[in-house]
Chains A and B, each alone.
Chain A
Amino acid sequence: MIPTLAGRIQTRLFLLATVGLAWTIVVVPVLPKRGAPIGDVYAATILALFVVALFGAGWELLYHAIQQYRWEKDWPILYALAEAVPEGVVAFVVVDAIVPTGPSPITFFFHFVTTWVVVWLTAIGPLRMVLLRWRFRGGRIL
């Protein structure tokens, strides 16, 4: 992937709102919920998506700054996957602080990791089939 800053942010928001949300809706019923009611788990997981979307602008600024030190000005797909680690930790802390009962770490972990992988897989491949010009536009959709 070779995103520009605007492209990074747009792609993130677009994918979270489409495949990210769709995946969440589908996966929550089968997540280990540790006895929590499904409604609470939906609330917490969708909140997690919001946090990843909202904090995303900040994270992308950081990644963009790192990218400037790469001659190719690219962003290896491995890095895009590895972003999940710091972002996951921060998202968990924020969701845990907002939702009084808090999601169980297990629930959060399975939701976050699977959603991240689904979004990442979409971004490195099938997205191009839908958005033909995406790869030439540094990831910009608009």
Chain B
Amino acid sequence: MTDADLTADLISARRWTDQDVAAARLPMIDVPLVSVGGGLGSFALVDTLRVAGIPSNAIRVLTTLDRPDQTYEYLASASQIPRHERIRSDSGSTIDNIWGFPSYALREAWNAKSIKEKMDPLLQVFLEPVFADYYTPRSGQVYESVVRESARINWNSMLVKGVVRMVRARHGGGYFSVLTPPRGWRPPPGQPPSKRIVFRSSHVHLAVGYPGVKFLDDLQAYRQAHDDFHRVVNAYEPHEYVYEELLRRPSTVLVRGSGIVATRILVRLLEDRERKGAQTTVLHLFRHYIDKPQGDDPKFRRLGRNGFAYQGFNYPKAAWGGQLKERLERLDGPGRAALIRQMGGTNTPFRREWEALLQRGRQGGWYQQWIGEVASVDPGPNGTITTTIVDPQQRSVQLAANFIIDATGLESDISEHRLLADLLSHGGASRSAFGRLEMEPSFEVAGTRNDPGRMYASGSATLGGYYAGVDSFLGLQYAALRIADDLASIGFGERIGVSRSVKEWFRWMRNAPIPG
């Protein structure tokens, strides 16, 4: 007898009955709520629900990860944020603490050894952003805090390893989530062998992160045509060997993109030059060069110069909880898409240190800025790659480099994610005006309700809904709170009120495990 698997009937049906699943001999596990992904989005929701009193046996997290911050750390490390570097988000975006207090700055000060190390973070949050750059925590501090909170909420006991292939509605309410367990998985004794496990739950939460790394088309074409994955790299993929080679011989690197990841790559290249003696020349290619503040309205204008648009975070701060959040909530789909683009887009934070580094590079001639549209990318002499651009005066310019680093994008279309594509074709979900999942203000995925069950999502796939900062620690926590409140309104757990909030905060402070 072959292992049980999805049948053609199941794959084509939009809705399954319990009998359908039983007939396919797929093992079934009942649990009230399933969160798919197991990254920081799942973590934020589970943390909030645990604080709201939901026991761990009512939740299963379906994931390939061992730690919730694993994918984040992978992407952050590749894009030049090692553990001792500071991330982008602020002191109050405490992914391990649903209250945002005590903040990362306060904790850094508390744990610091010397008086100066204690004062620095406090002074910085006090003076930010006017007289100092925004305080942001070191990534290592964030990871440690996530590990600590994971233990406190009993995270590991909720994990089930595997990839979720699809989520389908169940006749009679709720959903079936189909998990493909890792190779070598064996069902418990007495159960028939199967390639899948089905989770039958009332509620489903999707937090699957980025659908995939996006490459610039011309670079992707070059990589494939010349089978060159060594010299043309993506900033989100590990590429440490590039920096190592640059230390060995004088080279030229072409960097594309002008967001924070491009900035971090430039900083790494220029710091290696100043501190480690690399003889690197950096060519920075801009498609849109920003040389003046953006926006005609003095009340809606952001800093722009030297090619970059600057703001502290991906969106203005008030998009997370102030008047810009309220404005977005009142708009329709196309209006939200427009405002999100206006507030966001490609931008990078202004940091005095980074500005000075780039300035020295410009003056020394080893950091050069170029503007243009790429016409072609071809192999050049002596192992170089030639990028031909058409500059704003319509002249053709050739840029030769030993390496090209693409720091333009991470986010592919949601349909490139198998589970999301299935949701669009078979689950009732649709696309928003922004092109991602159409969402309700409660972070329910529009069109997927199956009473009494509900399906929610958080993270990047939900951008275009009623909240701009969805793909951030604070946004994941906001989504978590909205989802927890919505679930409480239909009887799953309790809405966190003042007394529970205070009680659970003291429990957090004592680092005492949440029972259950």
B-binding residues in A (CB < 8 A): 2-5, 7, 68-69, 71-74, 76-79, 125-126, 128-133, 135-138
Contact = CB atoms under 8 A, between A and B. Distances in A.
A74 B131 contact: no
Interface in B304-321: 311-312, 316-318, 320-321
A131 to B, nearest CB: 7
A72 B318 contact: yes
Nearest to B315: A72
A78 B126 CA distance: 6
A5 B131 CA distance: 24
Given A71-B302, A128-B99, A2 B318 contact: yes
The 6 closest A-B pairs by CB, nearest first: A73-B318, A2-B322, A74-B317, A72-B317, A129-B505, A72-B316
A71 B309 CA distance: 12
29 contacts: A2-B318, A2-B321, A5-B323, A71-B300, A71-B302, A71-B303, A72-B311, A72-B316, A72-B317, A73-B324, A74-B129, A74-B316, A74-B322, A76-B129, A76-B130, A77-B125, A78-B126, A78-B130, A78-B131, A126-B101, A128-B99, A129-B101, A129-B501, A129-B502, A131-B501, A135-B100, A136-B320, A136-B481, A138-B318
Contacts of B102: 125
B109 to A, nearest CB: 12
Given A73-B318, A125-B103, A132 B496 contact: yes
Nearest to A79: B130
Contacts of B496: 132
A71 B320 CA distance: 14
Contact of A71 (B92, B130, B311): B311
A72 B481 CA distance: 24
A138 B323 contact: yes
Interface in B273-321: 298-303, 311-312, 316-318, 320-321
Contacts of B355: none
A78 to B, nearest CB: 6
B106 interface: yes
Contacts of A69: 298-299
A71 B505 contact: no
Chain B CB within 10 Å, residue with most, of A71, A125, A129, A137: A71
A137 B125 CA distance: 21
Chain A CB within 10 Å, residue with most, of B302, B316, B323: B323
Contacts of B443: none
Contacts of A138: 318, 321-323, 325-326
B478 interface: yes
Contacts of A79: 130
Given A72-B129, A73-B316, A76-B128, A132 B324 contact: no
A137 B317 contact: no
Contact of A136 (B128, B131, B325, B505): B325
Contact of A2 (B127, B303, B317): B317
B169 interface: no
A128 B92 CA distance: 10
B98 interface: yes
B325 to A, nearest CB: 7
A61 to B, nearest CB: 14
A126 B301 CA distance: 33
A4 to B, nearest CB: 5
B444 to A, nearest CB: 17
A5 B311 CA distance: 23
Contacts of A132: 98-99, 481, 496, 501
A86 B502 CA distance: 34
B498 interface: yes
B121 to A, nearest CB: 13
Given A128-B100, A130-B498, A132-B496, 14 more contacts: A4-B322, A68-B299, A69-B298, A72-B311, A72-B318, A73-B324, A76-B129, A125-B102, A129-B502, A130-B501, A132-B99, A132-B481, A136-B320, A138-B323
Interface in B227-273: none
Contacts of B92: 135
Interface string B351-384: 0000000000000000000000000000000000
Nearest to B294: A71
Contacts of A126: 101
Contacts of B322: 2-4, 7, 73-74, 138
A87 to B, nearest CB: 19
A125 to B, nearest CB: 5
B331 to A, nearest CB: 16
A28 B458 CA distance: 50
Contacts of A73: 316-318, 322-324
Nearest to B316: A72
Contacts of B505: 129
A55 B318 CA distance: 25
Contact of B321 (A68, A125, A136): A136
Contacts of B106: 125
